[in-house]
Structure 1
Amino acid sequence: MKRLLYSVFFTAVVLFLTTSCTEEQDFGQIDDLRVTPTLASGLFYMESDEATINAAGALNSFYSQEINFDAFNEQYVAERLLEGVISYEMDNTTSKELRIIIEFLDEAGRPLDREIFTIEADPSETVVREVSYGPGGKSIDILANTSSLRVLANNLGDGTSVSSAEDPKIILRSGAEFLFELQ
């Protein structure tokens, strides 16, 4: 009799546990899912020594390059771009005041936007600038329509002076973070 009582009790507990711990599955939850990955990438790197700057002469350009930027050339990607931040970091150990111009160009080569940096001569502090695109920043359409970047560097100083630094040069680093919505 005890054995029958334990069997009934055990069966009741098992049935109670299996029905109380389950819930009907809702596979429609994917409709509520929002995926917004952030993509971080380096954009470009420029370095020039003081001898190259002096060779260009006073008030002349010593660096010019156009960089392909097809990150958003697919319409699917461009439409899902929510926001972005481009970071610039410049170190100048030369004896020259310099101007760096970065232009964002569309497919036809027309400027969409421009960032201009005037960097003091040695000893200058590291210049850091972050530019936001999207809510609270510049238009996100600038990034979505950019096909290339043009980097120009001009010597605003003389063409003969030499810095007392061991290896005088200008270094420009640039990186970006972009936020996308995939759903």
Structure 2
Amino acid sequence: MPKYILYSLLFLLASSSFMGCTKPVDFNQIDDFEVSPVLEASLIFFDAQAPDFFVGGAEAATVEDFVNLDVFQDSFINDNLLRTDIVVKGVNSIQRGYNFKVDFLNDLGQSQYSFIVEVEASPMTNEIPFEHTERIEGVGLEALKRSNKIVFTLIMLPGIPIDTGTLGRVHLESKAVFYFNYQKER
């Protein structure tokens, strides 16, 4: 093969590597940007043996805890939050039922949103699992956004007395699932 043909082929191959085929890029597509993330946050974890409800020689009918909530101070969250699910699950192996109350409070300590999970007694100290999902949207979500504190209250229902020899346990855990939708404004 003559050298000029070989050099011509090499030149064509080399110059074609600097060229490429691309589709035209439409930078206006960013105007159609939309994202719908889902975020989860742990709220409370509680695990107690039955004798833990016997304090100072008497049965403790209620146990209370709280979490400060400052997520609703953020304008991005307030503007783009579509729904919140509060998931409460656990087991009860105490021969007493109880109510698990969740209150969302504002700066003044006023209830903005509440719900109660009813947990049945364990008849034979077997672990009875439960799960409850509280879906909060619409008017309830607007009330939730005015909250800055969550109070969790476990209220023992009447039944067999609890003392230092009572068998069983209460296990609770909860999380919040936040559903967002963000669209770029045109």
- Alignment correspondent of 1:129: 132
Q: CA deviation at 1:96?
A: 1.6
Q: Calculate the TM-score normalised by the size of structure 1.
A: 0.76
Paired residues of 2:91 and 2:130 also in contact (CA < 8 A):
yes
Backbone CA RMSD of aligned residues: 3.1
The count of aligned residue pairs is 177
- Please state how far the C-alpha of 1:101 moved relative to its aligned partner: 1.0
Deviation at 1:88, TM superposition (A): 0.7
Where do 1:54-69 residues align within 5 Å? 54-55=54-55, 56-57=58-59, 61-69=61-69
CA contact (8 A) 1:102 1:114 kept: yes
Aligned residue in 1 for 2:152: 151
The answer as to 2:39 corresponding to 1:36 is no
Partner of 1:103: 103
Deviation at 1:39, TM superposition (A): 0.7
Give the 5 Å matches for 1:150-169: 150-158=151-159, 160-161=161-162, 165=167, 168-169=168-169
Give the partner amino acid of 2:154: A
- The answer for unaligned runs of 5 or more in structure 1 is 5-17
Q: Answer yes or no: is 1:177 the counterpart of 2:180.
A: no
What is the DSSP-based 3-state SS (H/G/I as helix, E as strand, rest coil) of the residue aligned with 1:157?
coil
Query: What is the deviation of 1:111?
Result: 0.6
Match of 1:51 in 2: 51
Contact 1:91 1:125 (8 Å CA) reproduced: yes
Identity of counterpart residues, as a percentage?
Answer: 21
Letter in 2 for 1:119: V
Query: Structure 2: how far apart are the matches of 1:156 and 1:28?
Result: 61
Q: Secondary structure at the match of 1:126?
A: strand
Q: 1:47 to 1:62 in 2, by over 3 A?
A: farther
Cα 1:20/1:65, change in 2 over 3 Å: closer
Which moves more between the two structures, 30-39 or 19-28?
Answer: 19-28
Letter in 2 for 1:85: D
Structure 2: distance between partners of 1:164 and 1:62: 17
1:80 aligns with 2:83: no
Contact 1:53 1:159 in 2 (8 A): no
What is the rounded CA distance, in whole Å, between the counterparts of 1:25 and 1:83 in structure 2? 36
Distance of 1:159 and 1:125 partners within structure 2: 17
Structure with the higher strand share, 1 or 2: 2
SS in 2 for 1:25: coil
Residue identity in the other structure for 1:90:
G
